[in-house]
Each structure stands twice: as structure tokens, then as C-alpha cells.
Amino acid sequence: MSAELSTVRILLADDHLVVRRGLRFVLESEPGFEVVCEASDGLEAVTEAVKHDVDLAVLDITMPGMGGLQAAREICQRRPATRILMLSVHDDAQYIAHAQKAGAHGYVLKAVADNELISACHRVVQASLPSFIQPVPRQTTARKHGWHSDAALESVTLTPREAEILALVAEGHSAKDIADMLVISSRTVDRHRENLCAKLGLHNRAELTRYAIRIGLVEP
């Protein structure tokens, strides 16, 4: 698929309508780019990607229910020709690694999307260029807010599912709500939360929430 020869059909997925509107404006300001469908969560993103036969899926990494990473895996399986670009507030190496493992072809930080998004999209849809586009480094969320950084905690690697559940816990969702969104049992959610506490050396929802904010998984 060559961006120079035909229109690039784009799926845009983000759970915030205002963010989608802004990103859509940026994308459609570029000749040859057309946002043909939008989604507010990962499950909808997969459905729309298949239904509209998109060339490029631009996915927010953190969405309710099925997150962007799982959506990327599903789209890769069901539409291997679709190129995938992840959007994220996280400049942590573990998130970049998870995105690449999920099948994404690029990763752009939301903080620089207004300047970098178009360039990243062009590079991602041109398969002859490097297979994975790294983000532009920026100040980490922890440093930006002046929070103390604990090296032991920052070295912990979360699985995509752990990151997904941590984000939902930090957003205040109950175990039942999370279970319903992820189509798993409440017991499984509780087990994940207990494992997160043990893995991170934390003790309750408040500490998990502070950690999620510190690593940029959710906004403060």
C-alpha cells in the first residue's frame, strides 16, 4: 500500500471524543489521508477495522474494556495487511516493548502528536521504511510532576493485562465493573489486583492509583 498512489484509509480509536476530534483534524489536514471510521474502545476498533477495510489503525493504548494492545493483536490476526500506530502518554520502555510485541508498527507520544503524528503515519504505511517507529523522548510523568522515583518499582515490567487492570483500578472502577468490561470473573480481577500489589510491594487501591499516575498509566 503506497501513501503516494492512493488514499490512506484510517481508523482512529480513542475513548475521549475531544481527543478524537483533534486527532482527526490533524490527520485529515494531510492530503491523501482519510479517517473512514472511529472507535471509543478496543472491541469497537477491531470491528470497525475489519468492516471498513482500513489501511492504518491509529489506536490509543489505554481504552476501557479491550485496550489498544489487545485490539492491535486482534487486528493483526484478522487483517494482517493493516498497519498499526499506537498513541500513548507513556514514554516507558515497557509500553513500547508491549506495543511492538502486540504487532504495532509504530508508537507516538500524545504529547508530541500534533508535530509527529503525520510523519509517523507516513513512515508506518510505507513498509520499506523501518518496521517499528520509536517515540520522540520526553520528560517522564514522574519527573514532570516532581515525584520521587523509586528504581526498584520503575524496573518492574507489567504484562499488558496487568497494565490494563491497573489502569481501570486507578480510574475507580469496581472489581465487578472491570470484570464486566473485560469479560472475566470478579475473582480473576481480584487475583490480578492481589498479584499487582505483591509484584509492586503495594498494599491497597490508593497506593496502586498513585503508582499508576506516577508511571503515566492514567492522568492525575
- pLDDT, tens digit, for every residue of 19-38? 888 899 999 989 999 999 99
The pLDDT of residue 10 is 97
The pLDDT of residue 144 is 40
CATH of domain 144-214: 1.10.10.10
Q: Specify which residues 33 forms β-bridges with.
A: 8
Residue with cell 498513585: 210
Q: Beta strands 56-60 and 8-13: pairing type?
A: parallel
* Residue 94 cell numbers, joined: 515497557
Which CATH superfamily, name and number, covers 8-125? Response regulator (3.40.50.2300)
The phi and psi torsions of 192 (rounded to 5 degrees) equal: -60, -40
Q: Which amino acid is at 176?
A: K
The pLDDT of residue 98 is 85
* Residue 44 cell numbers, joined: 469497537
The pLDDT of residue 11 is 97
The pLDDT of residue 131 is 58
Q: Which amino acid is at 20?
A: R
Q: CA-to-CA distance for 14 and 143, rounded, in angstroms?
A: 26
The phi and psi torsions of 15 (rounded to 5 degrees) equal: -80, -5
The pLDDT of residue 217 is 66
Tens digit of each residue's pLDDT (9 = 90 or more) over 129-168 = 555 676 654 444 333 433 334 444 555 677 777 888 888 8
Q: Of all helices (H) and strands (E), which one includes residue 170? A: helix 160-170
* Residue 197 cell numbers, joined: 500489589
Does the model's pTM come out above 0.75?
no
The phi and psi torsions of 54 (rounded to 5 degrees) equal: -80, 155
- Whether the CB-CB separation of 161 and 101 falls below 8 Å is answered with no
Numbered ranges of CATH 1.10.10.10 in the chain: 144-214
The pLDDT of residue 56 is 96
Dihedral sign from CA coordinates of 117, 84, 108, 172: positive
* Residue 162 cell numbers, joined: 496487568
Q: CA-to-CA distance for 212 and 207, rounded, in angstroms?
A: 9
First to last CA, the chain: 40
Q: Of all helices (H) and strands (E), which one includes residue 27? A: helix 17-28
Q: Which positions ≥6 away from 116 have C-beta within 8 Å?
A: 108, 109, 135, 136
Numbered ranges of CATH 3.40.50.2300 in the chain: 8-125
> How many CA atoms within 13 Å lie on the side-chain side of 206?
0
pLDDT < 50 positions in the chain: 1-5, 137-152
The pLDDT of residue 141 is 39
The pLDDT of residue 219 is 58
Q: CA-to-CA distance for 179 and 185, rounded, in angstroms?
A: 5
